[in-house]
Structure 1
Amino acid sequence: MTPNDPPALSCSGITHHYPASDHEVPALHEVALSAARGRVTALVGPSGSGKSTLLRILACLERPTHGTVEVDGVDATALSARRRRELRRHRLGYVFQNPIDNLLGYLTVEEHLGLATRLRRTGPSGGELLDALGLAGRRTHHPRQLSGGEQQRVALAFAAAGDPSALLADEPTAQLDRASAHLVGAALHQLAALGHCVVVATHDPELTGVADDVHELVDGRIA
Structure 2
Amino acid sequence: MREPPPIFRLRDIGVDYRTPAGTVTGVAGVTLDIPRTGLTVLAGPSGSGKSTLLRVLGLFDRPVRGELTFAGLDTGALSHRRRRALRREQLGLIFQNPADNLLPHLTVGDNLRAAAQSAGHPCDPELLLAPLGLSGTGPWRVPALSGGQQQRLAFGCALARRSSVILADEPTSQLDDASAEKVLDTLRYLVDQDFAVLVTSHDERLIGLAARVARLRDGRLEEVVDGAGG
1:203 corresponds in structure 2 to 202
Residue 5 of structure 1 deviates from its aligned partner by 4.3
1:190 corresponds in structure 2 to 189
Residue 99 of structure 1 deviates from its aligned partner by 0.6
Query: Structure 2 vs 1, CA of residues 126 and 33 (structure 1 numbering), >3 Å: closer, same or farther?
Result: farther
Residue 3 of structure 1 deviates from its aligned partner by 4.2
Query: How big is the alpha-carbon RMSD for the aligned residues of Structure 1 and Structure 2?
Result: 1.8
> What is the distance in 1 between the residues matched to 2:93 and 2:87?
9
> What is the distance in 2 between the residues matched to 1:66 and 1:29?
8
Instruction: Give runs of aligned pairs for residues 155-174 of structure 1, distance below 5 A.
Output: 155-174=154-173
AA paired with 1:94?
L
- Helix, strand or coil at the partner of 1:185: helix
- Helix, strand or coil at the partner of 1:29: strand
> What is the distance in 1 between the residues matched to 2:159 and 2:190?
8
> What is the distance in 2 between the residues matched to 1:146 and 1:120?
25
2:7 corresponds in structure 1 to 8
Percent of aligned positions that are identical: 44
Question: CA deviation digits over 1:181-206, x for unaligned, max 9?
Answer: 11111111111111211111111112
1:68 corresponds in structure 2 to 67
> What is the distance in 2 between the residues matched to 1:22 and 1:43?
28
Instruction: Give runs of aligned pairs for residues 1-223 of structure 1, distance below 5 A.
Output: 3=2, 5-21=4-20, 23-125=22-124, 127-223=126-222
> What is the distance in 1 between the residues matched to 2:29 and 2:122?
39
Residue 127 of structure 1 deviates from its aligned partner by 4.3
Residue 21 of structure 1 deviates from its aligned partner by 3.1
Q: Which runs of 5+ in 1 are unaligned?
A: none
- Helix, strand or coil at the partner of 1:114: helix
Q: TM-score, normalised by structure 1?
A: 0.92
Query: Structure 2 vs 1, CA of residues 142 and 9 (structure 1 numbering), >3 Å: closer, same or farther?
Result: farther
- Helix, strand or coil at the partner of 1:135: coil
Q: Per chain length, whose mean CA-contact separation is higher, i.e. which structure has more relative contact order (CA < 8 Å, sep 6+)?
A: 1
- Helix, strand or coil at the partner of 1:15: strand
Query: Structure 2 vs 1, CA of residues 33 and 128 (structure 1 numbering), >3 Å: closer, same or farther?
Result: farther
Question: CA deviation digits over 1:102-153, x for unaligned, max 9?
Answer: 1101222222222222212234446433221111221221111111100000
Q: TM-score, normalised by structure 2?
A: 0.90
Q: Does structure 1 retain, via aligned residues, the 8 Å contact 2:41–2:213? A: yes
Q: Does structure 2 retain, via aligned residues, the 8 Å contact 1:38–1:193? A: no
Query: Structure 2 vs 1, CA of residues 147 and 31 (structure 1 numbering), >3 Å: closer, same or farther?
Result: same
> What is the distance in 1 between the residues matched to 2:201 and 2:220?
16
Moved more, 53-62 or 66-75: 66-75
Q: How many residue pairs were aligned?
A: 222
Q: Which runs of 5+ in 2 are unaligned?
A: 223-230
Residue 38 of structure 1 deviates from its aligned partner by 3.1
